[in-house]
Amino acid sequence: MFFLSLFIIILILSPIFTIFLENINQKSDYLSFFSSGEFQSYTKNSIIILIPVLFFTLFLGGLSSYLVSFYEFTGVNFFKYSLLLSFAIPPYIYAYTLSAFFENFGIAYSLTSFFSEDLSRKFIPKIEPLTGSIISLSLTLFGYVFILTRSTFLNQSRDLIEIGKSLGFNNFDIFFKIIIPTARPAIFIGLSLVAMETLSDFGTVSFFGISTFTTGIYNSWFIFDDLKTANFLSLFLVFFVLFFFGLENLSRKNIKFFNSNNSFNKKNKKTLLRGYKSFLASFFCFFLFSISFLFPLILMLKWSLVNSSFLDLDQILHLNYNSVKLIFLSSIFIISISLIVTFSGRVLKSRALSFFSNLSISGYAIPGIVVSVSIISLFSLIDSFFNVEIRGYFIGSIFGLIFGYTVRFYSISFNTIKTVYLKINKSIDESALLLGFNKFSILKNVHYPLLKKNLIFAFILISIEVIKELPITLILRPFNFDTFSTSAFNLASNDLVEVAAIPSLFIVLWSSLFIFLSIKFFLIDKK
């Protein structure tokens, strides 16, 4: 069992190690590449996008979570769950709808020209590429800050707030001197996840034609067939992203400290807002819900009805079949191997296995475009070293896609299962052994009933990620194999943005369904 788990971990980490190995073997003039205008453009654009996105997600996610956690106002019970639906909209799909809405003679133009032609020319903003990317990423990623800070706010001790009031603190002082400091680890985790997603984004920046590391990697490999440059850019992006991954892990350690005190388990009594204060709180949350979810959803529904003739029923059914097939195959495989590794770590109590298990979850921090290039490099390396031909079995095949999804999303399943295992007393295992159970029987008859709910939750979370994933699917898919994400990307790339609404709508509907199931069966009782 130890060697099987170790083999699984090595398999997951092998593409990441390949990136480092390929760059060590390359004899390139890195200094000249660093000083090149192309590299500087990638760095500059990535930073220009990243900083505003972090600011806006902090403001939107932090303020909305504060309102729904500490105050009672009209619609609060609706908003504390509905704001999670922003996760159903991938940034690249939001970019499609935003661009099409404000384009020349688009919907915004039609609405304003109904009153005056001059009004259209004066007040319809032109969405610049950088602005469009920042808006799209901010309105689809603020949920990370929202859900993490809300969880912390709900567990904050009422005693601390009461002590603050007894010291003469007003609401402003309480917010900045008590609430924010205790929520700081959760805020850092949320912002670190936002930073990783922003740096990993390919679909949005590609659609707007912005040169970032992800588009540079894609163009190097897919257009110029230059795997060496793609590997180098991948290495630099990995270092960039792993910085935020380390920050996120450090913040997770700190958050345990804030939750260790029993007083934090006391529920906060919400303050009832009345009059204009209640209206402002409701308006802000409804406005955020509208622009982050309703706005793209309504536009996609409209464009799908108008352009329904472009995709017939057979094509839609085929895209559904491909997408659902990938969801089931990859989710079941990822959950199975993560269950093997977590169970082995529990029963074997090996420090080495524990170390490598924790290392293996870093795959989620690696951008999908980097995972794709690293897998291509890995099998190219194996082919040349062993003089075999196995690359064709993985590159451009379902196996390659599942492997790519496993590297990228393994940590979701691993952490979901490990969370439950940490709560199961090990004396249960010892009692089962005394009763004559072998290890497999313990897993089947003792652990599985306790893990079942979280296994389903892991399946849902992986499904959301798989159906939205673009670069891995785009690069590693079999020939003429399309999913909703690749279909939407190809249509939008050919300036058929409104037609791209059809596959985009199905991504949103599937994602919304999975999010609804998560809320209904796993989150709603946690408030």
For 469-497, how does the pLDDT look when each residue is reduced to its tens digit (9 = 90+)? 999 999 999 988 999 999 999 999 888 88
What's the whole-model pTM score?
Answer: 0.88
DSSP-derived secondary structure for 416-475: HHHHHHTTS-THHHHHHHHTT--HHHIIIIIIHHHHHHHHHHHHHHHHHHHHH--HHHHH
118: confidence class by pLDDT, cuts 50, 70, 90? low
Give CA torsion, residues 200, 205, 211, 213, to 10 deg: 10
What's the helix, strand, coil split of the chain in %, to 5? 80, 0, 20
Instruction: Give ranges for CATH 1.10.3720.10 in the chain.
Output: 1-32+310-481, 35-259+267-306
Please tell us whether the domain made up of 1-32+310-481 is placed in CATH 1.10.3720.10. yes
- Asked whether the beta carbons of 345 and 5 are under 8 A apart, the reply is yes
Alpha carbon distance 96, 313 (integer Å): 23
Q: Is the per-residue pLDDT at 257 higher than 50?
A: no
Alpha carbon distance 385, 378 (integer Å): 11
Please tell us whether the domain made up of 35-259+267-306 is placed in CATH 1.20.1260.10. no
Per-residue model confidence as pLDDT tens digits over 333-378: 999 999 999 999 888 888 888 888 888 887 788 889 999 989 998 9
- Asked whether the beta carbons of 499 and 515 are under 8 A apart, the reply is no
pLDDT mean over 224-237: 82
**How many CA atoms lie within 13 Å of 70's alpha carbon, on the beta-carbon side?**
19
Largest Cα span, the chain: 84
253: confidence class by pLDDT, cuts 50, 70, 90? low
CA 183 to chain centre: 21
pLDDT mean over 516-521: 88
Per-residue model confidence as pLDDT tens digits over 388-409: 888 888 888 999 999 999 999 9
